[in-house]
Amino acid sequence: MQFSFATATITVNLPDRAALAAAVDRALRAKAGFALATINLDHLVKLRASTAFQAAYAAQTMVVADGNPIVWLSRLARRPVTLVPGSDMVLPLAQLAAHAGASVALLGSSDASLAAAASRLQALVPGLRIPLRIAPPYGFDPTGPLARDILARLQADGIGLCFIALGAPKQEHLAALGRALAPDVGFASIGAGLDFLAGSQTRAPALVRAIAMEWLWRALSSPRRMIPRYAACAAILPAQIMAALRLRRSGGG
């Protein structure tokens, strides 16, 4: 499944959880860096508005579908992918890191959330090593001097997998820079995934997620923040539907 923009074409190149797990496992065991992004409608809104974000996304080496609308658009284009929410992948990716003997870093959120998330992960994943937790200060620039210092530390410390919980577009910008400055590190941009593990944010109940209504639960939980975001997402859907239909007719991958 592809999404085309002014300066980049973004491809969902891992269609399901099994493909993601296999790709990450290979990379961790080979000590080969990567950058994982989880595309959703909010990202598409931001991508349409920013060529810098397009460049950052183009630097991601693994892209999965994080959001039912992306899955539905892929089916419409006859390039089906399945739902792979980034927040659901924190534990499976941590398990892969432990099995590969790779150390893990947690980056983003707050000191308290990172400490709680680390404790939770280590309780669930025997042998998992988390030697580094970094909560950047307010106003953190993901391409600035502090970001470069952090990336140099990740590389020097031999971190195999770094979970980035900064939200879009900061996390993808940092991961893109990481591909250049910390080429041996695998970066996984997972939004609120660490906060969910820590319990500092509450995710929609499993039943709500199962019926694809997590968006409504989130909108009702935080209307001031989420309703404008979902309105912007809804506004781009007609154009995305037309693009999916063009892809379907073209036979392109």
Residue 69 confidence (pLDDT) above 70: yes
Check residue 231 and give its pLDDT. Answer: 83
Per-residue pLDDT tens for 155-197? Answer: 999 999 999 999 999 999 999 999 999 999 999 999 888 888 8
Q: How many other C-beta atoms lie within 10 A of the C-beta of residue 234?
A: 12
pLDDT tens, position by position, 234-243: 888 899 899 8
pTM, entire model: 0.89
pLDDT at 197: 85
pLDDT of amino acid 250: 84
- Mean pLDDT throughout 47-73? 93
Percent with pLDDT over 70 in the chain: 90
Q: Which of 1-10, 156-165, 204-213 has the highest mean pLDDT?
A: 156-165
Identify the pLDDT of residue 234.
82
Higher pLDDT, 219 or 15: 15
| pLDDT value of residue 202 | 61
Q: What pLDDT sits at residue 11?
A: 93
